[in-house]
Structure 1
Amino acid sequence: MMESAIGVLLSQFKMYAGSDGSSDTLSRDEFRKLVKSELSNFVKDAGDPGVVDQLMSSLDKNNDGELSFLEFWQLIGQLACKRGGYSQ
């Protein structure tokens, strides 16, 4: 079950990341689309580009304007902790 959940996360990341030709990273636009379509019940104000941009900036540790899967994974961990009632 956990293996299939990881598989889904990987395939969704690659699908959204690949919309501009590179499936290695999420651009700002790709990240906005992913959050709005896939995480709207987990991310407050997921439809607000300013909120999503701020979220992306907080995840973009190397400040290259894109999110690697590892940077994106931080968001999944944060959302899972919040949803499960775990402190971060």
Structure 2
Amino acid sequence: MELAVNVLVSRFKAYASIDGSSDTLSRDEFCRLISSELPNFVKNAGDPAAIDQLMSSLDKNNDEERNFLGFWQLIGQLASKHGGV
């Protein structure tokens, strides 16, 4: 499991650093991450409206960016749905 956590952290940072900050995902970075890394886990991953809705659900402070905690929560939700829990 340590390898899985390391992969999640490194992929988040790789996408987050596209615009210079490796601490948060902008809208564009989030869209790239979802469409490239999670297309089979996120329903309608290619639909901008679906991505906007997903982003809004993770953006608790309305700053238009997603931090790692929000990303981690998304991974937990997707894993839970995938596992049938």
TM-score normalised to structure 1 length: 0.95
Deviations 1:2-45 (A, max 9, x none): 10000000000000000000000000010000000000000011
CA separation in 1, counterparts of 2:64 and 2:33? 16
Instruction: Identify the residue that residue 36 of structure 1 maps to in structure 2.
Output: 35
The percent of aligned pairs where both chains have the same amino acid is 72
How far did 1:50 drift? 1.0
Aligned to 1:80: 79
Equivalenced residues, count: 85
What is the CA–CA distance in structure 2 between the aligned matches of 1:62 and 1:74, rounded to whole Å? 15
CA RMSD of aligned residues (A): 0.5
Q: Does 1:50 align with 2:54?
A: no
Cα offset, 1:49, TM superposition: 1.0
Give SS of 1:74's match: helix
- 1:18 maps to 2:12: no
TM-score (norm 2): 0.98
Work out the CA distance in 2 between the residues paired with 1:61 and 1:7.
Answer: 25
Q: Which runs of 5+ in 1 are unaligned?
A: none
C-alpha deviation, 1:68, in angstroms? 0.4
Q: Tell me the distance in 2 between the aligned counterparts of 1:6 and 1:61.
A: 23
